[in-house]
Amino acid sequence: QVQLVESGGGLVQPGGSLRLSCATSGDIFSAYSMKWFRQAPGRQRELVASITSTSWPYYADSVKGRATISRDNRKDTVYLQMNSLKPEDTAVYYCYVFVRGRDYWGQGTQVTVSS
């Protein structure tokens, strides 16, 4: 059973920073690509960033230059550092992994960017 647990969300002012964490279990972490999605109210869930098992990153255009995805295989954790946050970054952020034909999602962590 794969479990994903996000943390690190919160309320931040525009221009601020947050680091989101996703801790995994199930002895799968190092072998798989990990992804961060987000979903704002009334909008579809969208891919924010991903990182391969060999740490190659991908970023959506909306966060490119402001986000950094990284992973620590010793801690089975993936991170998303978000800088220069904007109100439009407000959303629930989800960690995701596709393992052996199944989708796994975390419970999400709320990020609110507001003054």
Report helix, strand or coil for 51.
strand
Given a contact cutoff of 8 angstroms between Cβ atoms, the answer to whether 22 and 106 are in contact is yes
Distance CA 26, CA 31 (A): 11
Span 14-64, pLDDT tens digits: 999 999 999 998 667 788 999 999 999 999 999 999 999 999 999 999 999
Distance CA 27, CA 77 (A): 12
The reported pLDDT for the residue numbered 26 is 65
